[in-house]
Structure 1
């Protein structure tokens, strides 16, 4: 029966079903008394929300991660984050590689779909790099964070916190255990350069995409040899760090950053620019940000990280392609060109579809939640975009949402991780080839 099912569903459907099963298993484990600090059963919706948020590497929570969940529950959460961040297909490949099993063509196709690369050529080598790189970067991050945490806690706790937050940062999840010290995320470390830079580095490395890893490893500093995708990702990511950092510094220098000296203000402005894409940590009180800063954060969350990474969002390549297309329309240029290359028309069409789908989900969810609860529209939009882009940042309303609103956020987190457009297209995999094409007729646009 399982063989027949496997042969009848597409690769995207297999990935969507796999994530659903992992979320369900995580939910059942988190419901048990072993998973709660009080030793009592956790209600289904709370466990489902937490499991979805962890598996979809979001970071939105309805309960304090440290205060509610026991050590067993926290280990379940960080395991779900690691599996969700890299994708269960990648973990399956690692297990097969450990057992020295042959990787079949179907498994290569699933792996290609999971890490979002163009073709299967070199996919096994890339998957091996993903596993090795993850272990290396998370290990280095855990070591640095452990040494920093030693100043505030015993060695065993510092080591555990170092590992937990290194995985959470690298996978762009945003779950934290700082509730043990009465902190909201890393607000207590907003003047610690080593902690903040380590977290930002892990977020950036995990969010640039695994294909970019392979390209950088192969060509080192020979920039001209980089693939067009790599060039777009690196330059756009740099712009989205520097530009918003300057804006946050201008907007909050005499407001939220007023009590900080200039270097500390720069550090926190930089963190404010990096973490919305799409980690969910914060070193400042999100609810205290000015309206303009909250809008800027929403925009950054919507854009998100890069394709084939641990990050979510509409993706930087999507936004870049649409901006380039707009430029070509305004300048009446033939084709969409960048770095002496012309993008294929399908890339533009897919970018428009991804952007539209992402936007429609956010608008529809905002409308449905606003129908159920009388909340400020800005905070609803903030949490909705945070959910669909799998960010995890919140102004603090998530625990106070009604059950219906929480279910909406759960669906958004799931679709945001699987890929809303890919999920929709998985049910229409077979193209309908019409024998007769309909006649054209022009309509007015704009």
Structure 2
């Protein structure tokens, strides 16, 4: 009886939260093993935990250099965590079950519906099949293209390993890189700032990983159906606008900065501005030194990281659809209208409430975490805020604070990464009791606003 009651209390959000926590624990244990490091010594527990959380949440923040600290075993463990975190462990478990011709139960379908952010359960298993197929195709093409480029500077076997690692890491919006082995620890992609081949491939991988599988499916089916869903329209519109506005802002703010765009030619400045506008959407890689950007550019990137990517994608943040609904609500109020309308479709009131709740919970979480970190860590507040938002938005960009974090700071950032991947609203649902439908309504009251 108790087991049955426990099963009934295990709602999809609770199951997802416990699942992610369990995988993080396993990843921490594996990364703690001496075989996981390049020099054969055991990594401190707090660093192993931080890395595991960063990988499963597909963030990319690191306290140790990925290319030089971890052995091949450790890097493969990280890559597996990234893939599980990007796809979602329920998606991966379903794929394994389908391989063995196991039937997917109704309860498992409901959990998958929650994990994929779908509104209906119908066709969810077919969606999972397509997710896995397209993931393998996109990551495979990315790996081949990057292998071809890297083969010019290293043996083919090493180039294939680098290409595969980077393709999986970047498509899942994790941002881990191995270039510490070549260009020095924490060097990242800075040496490729003038390489259009690498820039385009990485930008496309980040973009595809950030728009979500639902949008990818819509785009693939569009030549046949000639239709595109409201969700895809909103995601593509807001994403495109943010990329264009972001690129223009970064170009204007940084074009004369001698530490970033200043020394570059104008075509490279434009390319670098576009890349830096795409990567805050959860990409985690940068071709410019983030710490050397102007403060105005850093704050603007904080806004982009907070908005994040699309629902059902490998990215974080409050999501572009949430941002679109909020802007729609503001416009509706200014115009004195009643309904939020996007592309001639009325948005339900419950969805508007959900968007407002998610945004406020996220802001409260970031305000509290930033204030706490300003006490435990040393440095400018903008630097601390940037790190906190990067962790919550699973963006993986850093102004250099990650490696300087105190133990309590590492735990705080790790919690932000975990909550950012899981979603504060999902966690709130996971921790709350099952709500009962109200049988009455209170009388309407009036208060003065503004």
Change (3 A) 1:285 1:157: same
Q: How many residues align?
A: 445
1:146 Cα offset (Å): 0.4
1:7 Cα offset (Å): 4.0
Residue 231 (structure 1) aligned to one of 230, 233, 250: 233
Q: Is 1:46 matched up with 2:53?
A: no
> Superposed, which structure 2 residues align to 1:136-155 within 5 Å?
136-155=137-156
User: CA separation in 1, counterparts of 2:229 and 2:239?
Assistant: 16
SS at match of 1:138: helix
Residue 204 (structure 2) aligned to one of 201, 204, 209: 201
Higher mean alpha-carbon deviation, 421-430 vs 142-151, is at: 421-430
User: CA separation in 2, counterparts of 1:36 and 1:420?
Assistant: 33
Residue 63 (structure 1) aligns with: 64
Q: For residues 46-95 of structure 1, what are the alpha-carbon distances to aligned partners after superposition, in whole Å with 9 as ceiling and x for unaligned?
A: 00000000000000111111111111101100110000000010101110
Residue 74 (structure 2) aligns with: 73
Q: For residues 184-234 of structure 1, what are the alpha-carbon distances to aligned partners after superposition, in whole Å with 9 as ceiling and x for unaligned?
A: 2100111111111111111111111122223223333766x2111110001
User: CA separation in 1, counterparts of 2:42 and 2:430?
Assistant: 36
Q: Is 1:273 matched up with 2:274?
A: no
SS at match of 2:280: coil
Runs of 4+ with >4 A deviation: 1-5
User: CA separation in 2, counterparts of 1:141 and 1:205?
Assistant: 11
Q: Is 1:422 matched up with 2:423?
A: no
1:106 Cα offset (Å): 1.2
User: CA separation in 2, counterparts of 1:222 and 1:320?
Assistant: 25
SS at match of 1:342: strand
SS at match of 1:276: helix
1:8 Cα offset (Å): 3.1
RMSD of aligned residue pairs (Cα, Å): 1.4
Q: For residues 364-399 of structure 1, what are the alpha-carbon distances to aligned partners after superposition, in whole Å with 9 as ceiling and x for unaligned?
A: 000001111231000000000000111110000111
SS at match of 1:279: coil
Residue 191 (structure 2) aligns with: 188
1:5 Cα offset (Å): 4.2
Residue 107 (structure 2) aligns with: 106
Residue 12 (structure 1) aligns with: 13
Residue 322 (structure 2) aligns with: 318
Residue 220 (structure 2) aligned to one of 199, 217, 222: 217
> Superposed, which structure 2 residues align to 1:296-307 within 5 Å?
296-307=300-311
Q: Contact 1:176 / 1:185 at 8 angstroms: preserved in 2?
A: yes
Residue 248 (structure 1) aligns with: 250
Q: Contact 1:117 / 1:211 at 8 angstroms: preserved in 2?
A: no
User: CA separation in 2, counterparts of 1:219 and 1:284?
Assistant: 36
1:2 Cα offset (Å): 7.2
Change (3 A) 1:71 1:3: farther
User: CA separation in 2, counterparts of 1:129 and 1:2?
Assistant: 35
What is the TM-score of this pair, normalised by structure 1?
A: 0.97
Residue 286 (structure 1) aligned to one of 290, 293, 304: 290
Higher mean alpha-carbon deviation, 199-208 vs 132-141, is at: 199-208
Residue 394 (structure 2) aligns with: 390
What is the TM-score of this pair, normalised by structure 2?
A: 0.96
User: CA separation in 2, counterparts of 1:87 and 1:26?
Assistant: 15
> Superposed, which structure 2 residues align to 1:338-377 within 5 Å?
338-377=342-381
User: CA separation in 2, counterparts of 1:342 and 1:220?
Assistant: 27
Change (3 A) 1:22 1:2: farther
Residue 332 (structure 2) aligned to one of 318, 328, 333: 328
User: CA separation in 1, counterparts of 2:49 and 2:103?
Assistant: 35
Runs of at least 5 residues in structure 1 that lack an aligned partner in the other structure: none
